[in-house]
Amino acid sequence: MTDTSALGSPRRPLDRPPDQAARRPPPGAPAPLSSPSELLERLAPRLHRRPFLLVSDFDGTLAPLGLDPWGAAMAPRARRALRRLSGMAGLSVAFVSGRTVADLSARVRVGGARYVGNDGLESGSLARSGRPDRVRVRSVAGFEPFVAPATALADAVETAIGEPWLVVERKGPAVTFHYRGAPDVPSAGARVRAAVDRLERGGDFVRHQGARMLELRPLGAPTKADAVLRLLADVRPGLALLLGDGGTDAAAFVALRSAAGGSTGELVALSVAVRSHGDPLSTVEEAADAVLASTDAVADLLGRMARALPA
């Protein structure tokens, strides 16, 4: 079920007290690589703070990146930990992803959590015992005119490329072209960009280059950073933990730090980059407060948190 409404706007910035969880590395330096146990030890003195907002990306953070975007799946132990955490008093769990809410909720399947899809163009929530196919989706108003041109562009680029390695993710007013499975990734990326440049001449879409993918979003569309700020405004947390692995997550890390740093001591914030691509992504790790080595490490951290906190 889909209705159309504004998702709201963030209220005044939230704050970071002197005992901040995020001990920042020097400017321009990547955050340190931590083990799950070290990161939990760092968080332990602040875990009593409520409300506690836990926000996570999906692909590359909870689910390993694979050649097929439709094959992404998170570890069952991570799901079990998140289900336990989402049921704790004073703890809010949210998932923010480039996937649609319907796709995201079907893959995560954690009731009692908030879902923000299409990097902020959609939002929804799932009842604690609710089925993912019953998730109610709310779309940001004003982007309906982009749906038809985004669909037409998706079809045109898919026809122009004509290769099995191209995966086209249609997301209403946005579209993502994945080429992870191409035998020659640089060449595939160049072909996709050339096709988009040739076929999208209206200037209505902004290009976002990611790891082995190119996304086109409507001009003026909200971002993952906007989505995180809205969650902060809604929850008013005393502690916020943000997990992610890509460029949009890096922007959200910066937004979280800004919200925490410009206030009067209400919020402790920690941003954690996940090294899902094997090699460090400098822009992501430089924006983070800590780094975990893999999606397995994320699952380990979540399990440790679920055991450490009272049910």
Domains of the chain, residue spans: 2-7+34-40+48-78+92-140+222-308, 144-218
pLDDT of residue 184 exceeding 90, the answer is yes
pLDDT of 8 over the 60 cut: no
Query: What's the order of all strands across the beta sheet hosting 91-96?
Result: 2-4, 136-139, 122-125, 114-117, 91-96, 52-56, 239-244, 268-274, 290-292
> What does the alpha-carbon distance between residue 287 and residue 95 come to, in Å, rounded to a whole number?
19
pTM: 0.88
The per-residue pLDDT for 10 is 37
Q: Which residues pair with 215 in a beta bridge?
A: 176, 208
Using a 10 angstrom Cβ sphere, with 0-12 exposed, 13-18 middle and 19 or more buried, the burial of residue 19 is exposed
| Cβ atoms within 10 Å of 81's Cβ, excluding its own | 22
CATH topology of domain 144-218: Alpha-Beta Plaits (3.30.70)
- Pick the residue with more confidence: 16 or 51? 51
SS3 206: strand
Cβ distance 135 to 119 under 8 Å? no
What pLDDT is attached to residue 6?
Answer: 34
Q: Which of 16-20, 118-122, 135-139 has the lowest mean pLDDT?
A: 16-20
Q: Do 144-218 and 2-7+34-40+48-78+92-140+222-308 fall under one CATH topology?
A: no
What are the phi and psi torsion angles at 300 (to 5°)? -65, -45
Tell me, what's the pLDDT at 127? 84
pLDDT-derived band at 283, boundaries 50, 70, 90: confident
Q: For residue 106, is pLDDT > 70?
A: yes
Measure CA of the first residue to CA of the last residue in the chain; give whole Å.
32
Architecture field, domain 2-7+34-40+48-78+92-140+222-308: 3-Layer(aba) Sandwich (3.40)
Least confident of 8-12, 56-60, 148-152: 8-12
Between CA 55 and CA 77 the distance in angstroms is 17
More confident residue, 137 or 27: 137
Distance CA 183, CA 253 (A): 33
Range picked from 119-133, 161-175, 253-267, 274-288 for highest mean pLDDT? 161-175
Average pLDDT in the 170-187 region? 97
Residue 211 vs residue 302, higher pLDDT: 302
Of residues 210 and 21, more confidently modeled: 210
